[in-house]
Structure 1
């Protein structure tokens, strides 16, 4: 029997062991029925333990929602209790559904999981953290789509055996970062193994399937924290540099620069994701302002750009062989979030 309750803070809705009747026939129908950020509890065979999974923290990243809806419709009984957190319901519901990362003029929810918990997004983040603290899960996943096309990977602030085992449920690529941005992934600092899963592009069917298959593994196994039982050997990329575009800078995606933008990338720049780019391969073009429109962030501080990029005859080249990822052709995300992350070709930190 479905149990639906509204939290005393009036910020969250709750579903307990939802039936197919509650869920609707499709994920979009379910999303249409959701009124608020929602917490879903599913009872497991072992009632003494709980695992948690967040998804839809960004309203335009559907793979986790699609996987969860499919899994709930199939009425699986998980090995342990499951806690599911659907955070970005409000932006996801803006027509057309699943097209808005965050509310217009709102904050990025996945940058609000730390003090001072600003605005409505901060209040939602704090409420979701309170649910985690109340339930005390043995581990936590945060399922996303990448901002561009490209292979799946995981991100964590710790790369020990437990985190690698969790990542391996979905992918063999794990990015370990010291950057702190206020993401839910930083819940790992509470000594709860926490991993972000980037399933691939939001429009890619293989990303949706990967999210579902990983969810099945996560919920059906008695042990998901032992590296001996990991799905794949994990390749760890350590402490990438985050390259950001200045707020006032302009960017275009064209085969050749028009002279109207500060930065121009080719339309197929996403093919560079997780590939090695040598120092003689151009990445794009800069205008008169050169590389001054870019900032490199490492270990939460600004770093010199000289070891990352160089300019020759208006074209941008890697200063050394690099492996880049999270490259996007969405200019909004390129400006509001970041252009890309990069490590050395070996996977080691640039600095």
Structure 2
């Protein structure tokens, strides 16, 4: 199957093509879209993917604004807009993936099955053809909270890319089939989590980072970074069992396996001491949770403990990617955690 049947292409689009707003532009898109913009230096290309999840619009908002302003980038730019179909389902930007569909950012590995697999395969073919010097994948966090970057490789080039947006970099050896794993093609690749999807600050950060990414002569050298990057290594991923129930309440109703307070997102990137309660468990206790390390071992008791029905950290931990969206908590994960020092929990 030709990739042109799966993807649409826009080359150096004029403002007239883009519509007056990101919503108008999305409305005009009929399928996942590739945007190519010629740079001053035609010998090099940088790539950026965004909207892989249809409910994470900051990257699309930033790209629309940047394209309307008719910037000439330092090098050729290749933009990949993935989750057009879920993003268009009313209300716009409310669905991560199609109903009954797969998470597109779990499909960048063989076998490329189903519609999402075909889109991922076509996007990888575009990257292969363009041979970019680096790749960013711009997302929103599933809850509110500060911006951070994620990579599978921690070196100066990846830290430099992260520093275009944030000083927090998470390094993980966990492989999920995410586009970020394109790093394994020897192309520095970083996921950028800009902050909450409803957060104006996240949209602004996505835009400012895009301007830095497209206008810098060299974005892979750390000495030009404005700040020190704090690296958190190999977080543990705490997941909810498929059949488990979760509620967000100030106190447990007794009906859910896990209850978390509605303001739990304030814990993102904060340190939680062993004496600070995180929430409550039901009759099944911690049995409804799994804690998966990068080596796929489960060690939930090294992360959490229960006392009198309340959940506490088993040791001082730093948590992030906490969400108050029960659908994401169940389909993706509850949160990630490292030791308070930023080191992995073993």
Same fold, judged at TM 0.5 (above): yes
Structure 2 gaps of 5+ residues are none
Q: CA deviation at 1:232?
A: 1.8
Residue 3 (structure 1) aligns with: none
Residue 63 (structure 2) aligns with: 68
**SS, match of residue 301 in structure 1:** coil
Structure 1 gaps of 5+ residues are 1-5
Residue 213 (structure 2) aligns with: 218
CA contact (8 A) 1:7 1:13 kept: no
Q: Does residue 1:326 correspond to 2:321, yes or no?
A: yes
Q: Does residue 1:271 correspond to 2:280, yes or no?
A: no
Distance 1:300 1:251 in 2: 27
Q: CA deviation at 1:302?
A: 2.9
Cα offsets for 1:3-49 (capped at 9, x unmatched): xxx95550000000000000000000000000000000000000000
Runs of 4+ residues deviating >6 angstroms: none
Residue 294 (structure 2) aligns with: 299
Residue 202 (structure 1) aligns with: 197
Which of these residues, 144, 153, 165, is aligned with residue 149 of structure 1? 144
CA contact (8 A) 2:18 2:24 kept: yes
Which of these residues, 90, 105, 108, is aligned with residue 85 of structure 2? 90
Distance 1:344 1:8, change over 3 A: closer
Distance 1:279 1:238 in 2: 20
Residue 187 (structure 2) aligns with: 192
Q: Does residue 1:40 correspond to 2:35, yes or no?
A: yes
Q: Does residue 1:338 correspond to 2:339, yes or no?
A: no
CA contact (8 A) 2:3 2:122 kept: no
Distance 1:341 1:16 in 2: 39
Q: CA deviation at 1:231?
A: 2.7
**SS, match of residue 143 in structure 1:** strand
Distance 1:55 1:8, change over 3 A: closer
* Equivalent residues, number: 346
Which of these residues, 26, 31, 35, is aligned with residue 26 of structure 2? 31
Q: Does residue 1:56 correspond to 2:41, yes or no?
A: no
Which of these residues, 283, 306, 312, is aligned with residue 317 of structure 1? 312
Distance 1:251 1:136, change over 3 A: same
Q: Scaled by the length of structure 1, what TM-score is found? A: 0.98
Q: CA deviation at 1:148?
A: 0.1
Q: Does residue 1:283 correspond to 2:278, yes or no?
A: yes
Distance 1:8 1:118, change over 3 A: closer
Cα offsets for 1:143-174 (capped at 9, x unmatched): 00000000000000011000000000000000
Q: Does residue 1:252 correspond to 2:247, yes or no?
A: yes
Root-mean-square deviation (CA, aligned residues, Å) is 0.9
Distance 1:256 1:182 in 2: 37
Distance 1:163 1:7 in 2: 33
Cα offsets for 1:155-197 (capped at 9, x unmatched): 0001100000000000000000000000000000000000000
Residue 109 (structure 2) aligns with: 114
Q: CA deviation at 1:257?
A: 0.2
Q: CA deviation at 1:118?
A: 1.7
**SS, match of residue 60 in structure 1:** coil
Distance 2:285 2:90 in 1: 38
**SS, match of residue 182 in structure 2:** helix
Q: CA deviation at 1:300?
A: 4.3
